[in-house]
Amino acid sequence: MAIHIQMSEEAEQELKRASMRNKISSLLACLLFVGGGGLILALTVIFIAAEAPPEFMAYTPPAEDLPPTNEPTTQQLSSKAASPSSSVAPSVIVSTAAAPVAMAQVDVPMDDSMDVGVSVDLGMGLGDGLGDGLGEGGNGLGSGKAGGSALVGTFYDLKQTKNGSPTGLTAGGAGEGKVLEVLNGFLKSWSEASLNKYYRSPQKLYASNFYVPVAYAKYGPIAYGVADKVKEGAWVAIYRGKVRAPKSGKFRFIGTGDECVAVRFNRKTVLEAGYRIPSRWPDGAKASKPDHVKYAAAIKDGTDKIHKGYEFIKLNGIDIWNDELGGLTAGNVFEVEEGKSYPIEVMITEVPGGKFGVMLFIEDMSENLKSNNPSNQYHLFRTNFSTPDEKVILDLLKKDGCNVGNSLQVPKYNPESLIWVAVP
């Protein structure tokens, strides 16, 4: 017997409605996915894949490869005296977009014939005052413009406190010994904490070399812009920084100062020269003969243990220094490695007032120069390509009444002097 099962009319209608709902849901889901995908694609095209318009930026190569300017910036310099063909880096135009840029290839021959030995002389220009003028390029006692490859100088007046009250120290006379005592204390540690109680100029100077002829001592306060507050004498300027050795080898500083110049290199005092030698206090202050006379004698006979190994060098064109000080003073020999950085400090001071001057050179011992040859040209110690312009210096000294006669009383220096680049 066959059994027939038949769906009721109500159940059949419900099954049809469920099927229709499923079809509609599937259709809506498809539409939703398609619409969402289209929207994502559109947003991708508009905000992500759209090609950025080409944009050009001027790019300057790393500052280490650039030549100096007479307006110091954060640029760094080559550590060797090099010809413009090898030391001047071109500016490059770089696109921030991904589009290719065709660059023409330039072949530059780099043979020895191209090195014409041209040094870049930044000059010093005529400023409104002696400090501004001699400061251009970091010459003299320095420029007031920060930046570039230079040592940073701070000026102190030992005659007054930071508040302007008298300290009892005076320029010359009975007060000279007390000034030397203060400087002696400073040279034992080279810490400026010992000078904190004295008046300090708000202006700092940035020097790339030290090459000041015989002048009047008021030049110091003028250079630092405090001539209205500081009288000549009993002042000291301290310069600090780090320099990169231009080559490996043995060197020594050669220089002198009126009143004194001292150099500490790699945390060791390697030069102290001039009319007053603070580290000899109180012997020098109480000497019956001028201190520089006793100092020169002690150096020559080897009895000065503090400055053992020093010698005096007479050069052409500096008769005053030769006659009164026995010439320039050559300090202790030190050794460096090319590319390595070393701390350096330079102290320049004027004690009694009157005349002032300072010169600082450096000798490459591998050149085997004879110390008794007055025509030697030593390297000017410098931290950039700047070199002093003797005529401009003399004109500026005359302009501010600081010149002593018409003779610069400074020796010639090697025009290809090495560059000890100042680094942060």
* Tokens matching residue 88: 């001047």
What pLDDT, on the 0 to 100 scale, is given for residue 58?
Answer: 47
Q: 82-91, 100-109, 160-169: which has the highest mean pLDDT?
A: 160-169
Q: At residue 109, does pLDDT exceed 60? A: no
Spell out where 105-195 has E strands: 151-161
Angle at alpha carbon of residue 128, lines to 124 and 131, rounded to 5°: 60
The residue-averaged pLDDT of 196-212 equals 94
Kindly report the backbone phi and psi dihedral angles of residue 65, in degrees, each rounded to the nearest multiple of 5, phi listed first: -100, 0
Q: Which of the four pLDDT bands, split at 50, 70 and 90, describes residue 85?
A: very low
Alpha carbon of 237 to those of 129, 203, 226, 281: distances in Å?
19, 12, 13, 19
Q: Which of 392, 251, 266, 400 is nearest to 334 (CA)?
A: 251
Q: Are strands 341-350 and 235-244 parallel, antiparallel or unpaired?
A: antiparallel
Kindly report the backbone phi and psi dihedral angles of residue 308, in degrees, each rounded to the nearest multiple of 5, phi listed first: -65, 135
Return the percentage of the chain with pLDDT > 70, whole number.
Answer: 71
Q: Which of 367, 355, 345 is nearest to 422 (CA)?
A: 345
> How far apart are the C-alpha atoms of 357 and 113, rounded to whole Å?
39
| Range in 70-74, 222-226, 289-293, 303-307 the model is least confident about | 70-74
**339-374 per-position pLDDT tens digit:** 999 999 999 999 988 888 899 999 999 999 998 899
Spell out where 267-424 has E strands: 268-274, 311-313, 328-330, 334-336, 341-350, 355-364, 379-380, 422-423
| Range in 36-45, 284-293, 374-383 the model is least confident about | 284-293
What pLDDT, on the 0 to 100 scale, is given for residue 312?
Answer: 93
Q: 218-232, 238-252, 377-391: which has the highest mean pLDDT?
A: 238-252
Domains and CATH numbers, the chain: 130-423 (2.60.120.380)
Q: At residue 102, does pLDDT exceed 50? A: no
Angle at alpha carbon of residue 244, lines to 371 and 143, rounded to 5°: 85
Q: Could you tell me which residue, 417 or 86, shows the higher pLDDT?
A: 417
Q: 126 and 133 in contact (C-beta within 8 Å)?
A: yes
Q: At residue 86, does pLDDT exceed 80? A: no
> How far apart are the C-alpha atoms of 188 and 199, rounded to whole Å?
21
Q: Which DSSP state fits 174?
A: G
Angle at alpha carbon of residue 404, lines to 200 and 285, rounded to 5°: 55
Under 8 Å CB-to-CB from 274, ≥6 apart: which residues?
256, 257, 258, 259, 260, 261, 292, 325, 329
> Per DSSP, what are the bridge partners of residue 359?
211, 256
Q: What's the residue count for the chain?
A: 424
| Sign, Cα dihedral of 17, 23, 24, 25 | positive
Q: Which of 229, 266, 233, 419 is nearest to 341 (CA)?
A: 266
What pLDDT, on the 0 to 100 scale, is given for residue 140?
Answer: 75
> How far apart are the C-alpha atoms of 196 and 176, rounded to whole Å?
20
Q: At residue 30, does pLDDT exceed 90? A: no
CB atoms within 10 A of CB 347: 22
The residue-averaged pLDDT of 187-196 equals 95
CB atoms within 10 A of CB 136: 24
Q: Which of the four pLDDT bands, split at 50, 70 and 90, describes residue 68?
A: very low
> How far apart are the C-alpha atoms of 398 and 217, rounded to whole Å?
14
> How far apart are the C-alpha atoms of 135 and 125, rounded to whole Å?
9
Q: 238 and 154 in contact (C-beta within 8 Å)?
A: yes
Under 8 Å CB-to-CB from 357, ≥6 apart: which residues?
212, 213, 214, 215, 257, 258, 409
What pLDDT, on the 0 to 100 scale, is given for residue 121?
Answer: 33
**369-409 per-position pLDDT tens digit:** 998 899 999 999 999 998 887 777 777 777 778 777 666 67
325 three-state secondary structure:
helix
| CA 54 to the chain's CA centroid | 38
CA atoms within 13 A on the CB side of 53: 0
